[in-house]
C-alpha cells in the first residue's frame, strides 16, 4: 500500500518532534516515525537525564507553535551566566546578566522528558500529524518530484519533502552520499541532576579548571530543595572511572569540582555519559530531503547551542516552505535552506570547538591566559554585549 503525505519526518527525538509540531501547526499533512517503542514514564526518564536550555529565539518559536505554553510551568529561567575560572590559586568570577541586553532571561531550562511530554501533547491536538513509534525508515528513493520512503512495517509513503531528523548517524544522509566532517575531542560529558544547599537564584554557573567545563544549570526545586542540572566534561578516561564511584564519594567529588559555589551537592538522578564530538555535513540537503538538527550538525554541550541551533533549522525551513508557491520540497527551497543554515551551523561548530579547547587547557601559563581572556571580555562592555547576543542567537 502506498500512502501519500506532504511531509515525512524520519526521527522522533526532540528535534523531529518539534518539527512535527511546527509543520503540523502550519497545517501540513505530516508523518513522523521513530524506531523507539513507547515507554512508561520512569523508563523513559532513565533514558535521558538531560535538560535543555532554550534560548530566547527558541522560546519565542516554541510559543508561536503552541508548545511553550505546555512546558512553561516546569521551566527555570536563566537570568545570569556566571563563569568561574578555578584553575589558579584565586577564583576569577565573572557574571553576565541578561538585563544588560534585554528585559527577559537568556533562556529557560527544561528537562528533556518534560519537553517531550509537551510535544506529544501538542501533536495529539493536530489531526493532520501522525506520530508512530516502533517504526523506522529502511530506505528512500527520490525523484525530482517526490521522495519514496520504505518503512520497517513494509509500508511505503510518498511525500513532497522528507525531513531527516534521524540523528548523528543518520542512515538517510549516508544513503544520499552526503559527507560529514567529524572531530573527536577525546572527552565525555556526564549529565545528571543534583539538589544543593545554596539557592541558585536563576544563575547558570560554569566552572573551568582543566579537562572541560563543569556547568550547573538551574531547575525548579525538587522536594523543597534547590535543584540544578549538571553537565560535567572531562577527558574520557577520567569519566569512565567517575561514573562507577559510590554515591557518597561521587557527591564529595562533584561538590569539590564545583568550587563549592552552591554548597554541598547531592546527586538525585542516574548519571548519563555522552561522547564529545562535533560534526557538520557538507550539504544540508539532498534531492527532496532536508537534513536538520544532529543529522546536519553536532556541537559539544557548551553554551546551550545544540538543540537551539536545530530549532533555528526548523524555523528557517518552515518559513521557506510556507513561502514556496506550492512545491515545498523543490530544489529551490532546499538550496536556499542550505545557504541560510549551513554558515550559521559552521560558525557555531567552530566557535564552540574553540571554547571547548580553551576550557580543556592545562598548565599554569595556559590557564592564566584563559583567566586573563575572561577578564578582558568582561571588562569591555560593547564586546561583552556582543558576545552575550551572539551566545543566545540574537546576532
Ligand atoms: C549532555 C548534553 C547536554 C545538552 N544540553 C543542551 C542545551 O542545554 N541546549 C541545547 O540547545 N542543546 C543541548 N544539547 C544538545 C541536544 O541535547 C541535542 O541537540 C538533541 O538532543 C539532539 O536531538 P535530535 O532530535 O537532533 O537527535 P536524537 O535525539 O539523536 O534523535 C534522533 C532520533 O532518530 C531516530 N532514528 C534513528 N534512526 C532512524 C531511522 N532509520 N528511522 C527513523 N528514526 C530513526 C532515533 O531513534 C532518535 O530518536 C545537549 C547535549 C548533551 C549531550
Q: Where in the chain is the domain with CATH 3.30.9.10?
A: 72-110+184-276+362-391
Ligand 1 pocket, mutate which of 152, 219, 294, 311 (most atoms under 8 A from CB): 294
Distance of alpha carbon 394 from alpha carbon 386, whole angstroms: 9
At residue 267 the predicted structure's pLDDT band, cuts being 50, 70 and 90, is very high
**Candidates 307, 309, 317: which one to mutate for ligand 1, based on the most atoms within 8 Å of Cβ?**
307
User: Quick one: 2-48+113-182+281-355 is in which CATH superfamily?
Assistant: FAD/NAD(P)-binding domain (3.50.50.60)
For the domain bounded by 72-110+184-276+362-391, which CATH number is listed? Answer: 3.30.9.10
Average pLDDT of the chain, as a whole number? 89
Q: Do residues 290 and 213 make contact, with C-beta atoms less than 8 angstroms apart?
A: no
For residues 255 and 258, what is the distance between their CA atoms, to the nearest angstrom?
A: 5
Judge whether 118 and 73 are in contact, CB under 8 Å.
no
Per-residue pLDDT of 63-93, as tens digits, reads 999 999 999 999 999 999 898 888 777 778 8
Q: Which atom of ligand 1 is nearest to the CA of 166?
A: 34
Residue pair 222/274 in contact (Cβ under 8 Å)? The answer is no
pLDDT of residue 96 exceeding 50: yes
Distance CA 190, CA 167 (A): 20
Instruction: Give the cell for residue 292.
Output: 536538520
Gap from CA of 305 to ligand 1 centroid (Å): 12
Percent of the chain exceeding pLDDT 90 equals 66
Q: How confident is the model at residue 102 (pLDDT cuts 50, 70, 90)?
A: confident
Helical residues (DSSP H) of 168-258, grouped into ranges? 171-175, 236-243, 247-257
15 CA to centre of ligand 1 in angstroms? 7
* Interval 296-312: pLDDT, tens: 999 998 877 899 999 99
Ligand 1 pocket (Cβ < 6 Å) reads 10-16, 33-36, 50, 52-53, 136-137, 165-167, 171, 189, 191, 231, 274, 293-294, 301, 304-308, 310
Assess whether pLDDT exceeds 50 at residue 44.
Answer: no
Q: Nearest C-alpha to atom 14 of ligand 1 is from which residue?
A: 306
Question: 159 versus 355: which is more confidently predicted?
Answer: 159
Rounded distance from Cα 62 to ligand 1 centre (Å): 17
pLDDT beyond 50 at 257: yes
**CATH 3.50.50.60 domain residues, the chain:** 2-48+113-182+281-355
pTM of the model: 0.91
Residue 378, pLDDT above cutoff 80 = no
Q: If you search the block for the grid coordinates 501519500, which residue do you land on? A: 4
Q: Which residues contact 141 (CB under 8 A, 6 or more apart)?
A: 147, 148
Amino acid at each position: 500500500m502506498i500512502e501519500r503525505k506532504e511531509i515525512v519526518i524520519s526521527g522522533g527525538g526532540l528535534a523531529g518532534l518539534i518539527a512535527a509540531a511546527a509543520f503540523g501547526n502550519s497545517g501540513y499533512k505530516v508523518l513522523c516515525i521513530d524506531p523507539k517503542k513507547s515507554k512508561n514514564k520512569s523508563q523513559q526518564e532513565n533514558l535521558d537525564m538531560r535538560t535543555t536550555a532554550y534560548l530566547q529565539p527558541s522560546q519565542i518559536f516554541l510559543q508561536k507553535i503552541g508548545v511553550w505554553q505546555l512546558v512553561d510551568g516546569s521551566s527555570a529561567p536563566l537570568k545570569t551566566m556566571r563563569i568561574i575560572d578555578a584553575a589558579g590559586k584565586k577564583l576569577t568570577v565573572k557574571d553576565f546578566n541578561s538585563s544588560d541586553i534585554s528585559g527577559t532571561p537568556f533562556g529557560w531550562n527544561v528537562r528533556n522528558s518534560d519537553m517531550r511530554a509537551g510535544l506529544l501533547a501538542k501533536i495529539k491536538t493536530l489531526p493532520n500529524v501522525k506520530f508512530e513509534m516502533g517504526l523506522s525508515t529502511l530506505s528512500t528513493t527520490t525523484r525530482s518530484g517526490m521522495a519514496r520512503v520504505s518503512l520497517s512495517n513494509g509500508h511505503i509513503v510518498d511525500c513532497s519533502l522528507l525531513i531527516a531528523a534521524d540523528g548523528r548517524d543518520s542512515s538517510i544522509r549516508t544513503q544520499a552520499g552526503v559527507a560529514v566532517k567529524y572531530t573527536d575531542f577525546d572527552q565525555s560529558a556526564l549529565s545528571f541532576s543534583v539538589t544543593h544547599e545554596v539557592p541558585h537564584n536563576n544563575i547558570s554557573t560554569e566552572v573551568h579548571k582543566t579537562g572541560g567545563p563543569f556547568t550547573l544549570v538551574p531547575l525548579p526545586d525538587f522536594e523543597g530543595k534547590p535543584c540544578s542540572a549538571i553537565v560535567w566534561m572531562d577527558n574520557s578516561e577520567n569519566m569512565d572511572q567517575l561514573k562507577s564511584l559510590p554515591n557518597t564519594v561521587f557527591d564529595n567529588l562533584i561538590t569539590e569540582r564545583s568550587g563549592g559555589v552552591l554548597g554541598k551537592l547531592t546527586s538525585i538522578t542516574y548519571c548519563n555519559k555522552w561522547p564529545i564530538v562535533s560534526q557538520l555535513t557538507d550539504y544540508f540537503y539532498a534531492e527532496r530531503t532536508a537534513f536538520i538538527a544532529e543529522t546536519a550538525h553536532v556541537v559539544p554541550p557548551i553554551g546551550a547551542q545544540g538543540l537551539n541551533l536545530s530549532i533555528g533549522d526548523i524555523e528557517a525551513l518552515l518559513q521557506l516552505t510556507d513561502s514556496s508557491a506550492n512545491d515545498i520540497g523543490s530544489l529551490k527551497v532546499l538550496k536556499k535552506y542550505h545557504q541560510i543554515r549551513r554558515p550559521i551551523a559552521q560558525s557555531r561548530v567552530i566557535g564552540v570547538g574553540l571554547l571547548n579547547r580553551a576550557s580543556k587547557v592545562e598548565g599554569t601559563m595556559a590557564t592564566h591566559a584563559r583567566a586573563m581572556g575572561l577578564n578582558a571580555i568582561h571588562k569591555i562592555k560593547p564586546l561583552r554585549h556582543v558576545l552575550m547576543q551572539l551566545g543566545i542567537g540574537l546576532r
